[in-house]
Structure 1
């Protein structure tokens, strides 16, 4: 893993931890902090000397935002705009493949927790979970997969 790439993962992970705390407490993500994280991600990306990485990560940020925005719209805004913005921002940091891995694991973990709690009758089927903490774990899994690949 390249130094610039590792720095991008670590910075994103730190922001994700901060956003996770906010999401758990308030079910909201601060727009100024999100904008700051997006700007830092974009600046770190500019220092990447690899043209392919630059194009891939810009594409991941844009597509991640658009696809998650469309999913939020389809769900009648059950998916929060903070989640949508975070997915787009994360694309700038980690690229398309790692973004897909992070989202996949976040959704698997939410599903598993929901199923376990539903089976044990601790929740109803309508229970809402904050997405960002699960996404943070997904980013960590993507980082580990990239690190040991």
Structure 2
């Protein structure tokens, strides 16, 4: 067993707990520092033993220790998801400079997914903070060529803006700014792939959800989670998928 894998996994678990807080509080204009986390039903302030990611949820059998009301499984889900994604990023990239970009992307996507699912909002404050982080990271870890970040940001913004205009509001302002940020972080080609995958995932889920009766026709669906999944697919596996597609296409003819 690669015990070094436990390092990103454990960091991811604890940061995932914090990202839950950020994603739920920032859209409401609340502080992410105070007050301390508490039960939304009875107001009981959580103690250290109740704040162990994932573990506390199962120890308490998914209930508040004070009032015994059920705790949303969303909390342990995103804690575990962050830990797993951090570990996967390490497995794919190792202890490299690009790992910092990957972990930053994952962190951004966990926060905006929580926020978009809860409020249908991708907060500008979150995007601004991560914009600063990505700028610093790409100064020290530039893409090749360096202007690929600029091209990706401009293209990401314009493509989503164009879709928003022709769809008359079908794309939110947060999605537009998010794709500009993604383009800056991953570059033009990967941004285009991420848009393709995000659109594919969103369309597939939307059609399936309508057929199964979970959503109604023309009902708004948060696009942020699909942008997250699509971008991570493109970032980690885009080259392999594109290579496979081109080989299959060429063999087909």
SS in 2 for 1:103: helix
Q: Is the 8 A contact 1:38 1:89 kept in 2?
A: yes
Residues in 2 aligned to 1:68 and 1:40: alpha-carbon distance in whole angstroms: 22
Q: Following the alignment from structure 2 to structure 1, what is the Cα–Cα distance between the partners of residues 115 and 207? A: 25
Question: In structure 2, do the counterparts of structure 1 residues 120 and 29 end up closer, same or farther at CA, with 3 Å as the change threshold?
Answer: closer
Once the two structures are superposed, residues 41-82 of structure 1 have per-residue CA deviations (whole angstroms, 9 ceiling, x without a partner) of 111111125550x21111101111122112112211221000
1:13: how far off? 1.6
Q: Give the superposed CA RMSD.
A: 2.1
**Aligned pairs, number:** 148
**TM-score normalised by length of structure 1:** 0.88
Q: Is the 8 A contact 1:72 1:78 kept in 2?
A: yes
Gaps of 5+ in 2: 1-92, 244-253
Do residues 103 (structure 1) and 192 (structure 2) align?
no
**C-alpha displacement at 1:38, in angstroms?**
1.1
2:103 partner SS: helix
Match for residue 112 of structure 2 among 2, 19, 23: 19
Mark the CA change 1:146 to 1:127 in structure 2 (over 3 Å): closer, same or farther. same
Structure number with the higher helix fraction is 1
The structure whose Rg is larger is 2
1:81 pairs, out of 173, 177, 198, with: 173
Alpha carbons 1:5, 1:94 under 8 Å: kept: no
Note the C-alpha offset of 1:125: 2.0
- Do 2:101 and 2:134's aligned partners in 1 also have CA atoms closer than 8 Å? yes
What secondary structure does 2:221 align onto?
coil
Alpha-carbon separation, structure 2, partners of 1:61 and 1:81: 15
2: CA distance, partners of 1:71 / 1:102: 15
Q: Label 1:117 to 1:95 Cα distance change in 2 as closer, same or farther (>3 A).
A: same
Q: 1:68 aligns with which of 160, 165, 174?
A: 160
Q: 1:132-147, aligned counterparts within 5 Å?
A: 132-145=224-237
Q: Specify every segment of 5 or more residues in structure 1 that has no aligned partner in the other structure, as ranges.
A: none
Mean alpha-carbon deviation: is it higher for 85-94 or for 3-12? 3-12
- Give the Cα–Cα distance (whole angstroms) in 2 for the partners of residues 124 and 50 of structure 1: 42
Task: Report deviation, 1:146.
Answer: 5.4
For residues 95 and 50 of structure 1, the distance between their equivalents in structure 2, rounded to whole angstroms, comes to: 7
On the 8 A contact 1:13/1:139 being kept in 2, the answer is: no
Alpha-carbon distance in structure 1 between the residues aligned to 2:209 and 2:142 = 46
